[in-house]
Amino acid sequence: MKTKPSRRTFLQTGLSLPAAGFVINPSSLLAAFQLSTQQRQPATYTGGSQKGKSKFEQYIVRDLWHKSYPQDFHVEVTKPVLGLRINEMQGSTYSPFALSWVPITKAFLMAPEPHTHDWDEFLMFIGGDTTNLLNLGGEVEFSLGDDPRNMEKFVFTSPTVVHLTKGLWHCPLNFKRVDDPAKPVLFTNLMFTTDYTARKAPK
């Protein structure tokens, strides 16, 4: 969602899943979470049957840690974030997409300015209490509109999914309240692209 240039870091260096496996390239993320260089070596699977591994391992992605949080995105997000990026493959039956799971443990303004994209996007706001998924555990303010100068604000206090069609103006996105940091609001972002771009409103 956030339109600062560093958001491309995830889309360009996050997880990928080519036709025969996945690749994680964290070369631009060496300092995140103060991990040593040895701990940050890319986890690479090139497909086929590795020695001692099942040939079906190529369909499984085990390392979903989105390592560019928090320093390249939102410093307010202090818990580990998950992410997955799927590129277009020859003969595939799906479109490229990027998916992230972000635990929101405290109130903050995530995306202050209206913007649009040239692709569809789904935003999902789910409660962190897995024993009661009907409870969002907080309050979210989100704006939609045809004109960035005249946006309509919506308030979510229960689990909600927003479908952003291509060209639809959206944001600000404000996590207004989180009731219990131990049961955060889980913000899930599904974008049908692996090359993030955004168009902001003219000044």
CATH for 87: 2.60.120.10
**pLDDT tens for residues 55-74?**
787 777 777 887 766 566 77
- Residue 195 has what pLDDT? 82
Which residue range(s) make up the domain with 112? 5-200
- Residue 88 has what pLDDT? 63
Residues in CB range of 191: below 8 A, 6 or more apart: 97, 98, 99, 117, 119, 121
Residues in CB range of 62: below 8 A, 6 or more apart: none
- Residue 18 has what pLDDT? 39
Q: How many domains does the chain have?
A: 1
pTM, two decimals, is 0.70
Please classify residue 138 by burial: count the beta carbons closer than 10 Å to its beta carbon, then call 0-12 exposed, 13-18 middle and 19+ buried: buried
Tell me which residues of the chain have a pLDDT lower than 70. Answer: 1-52, 68-72, 88-92
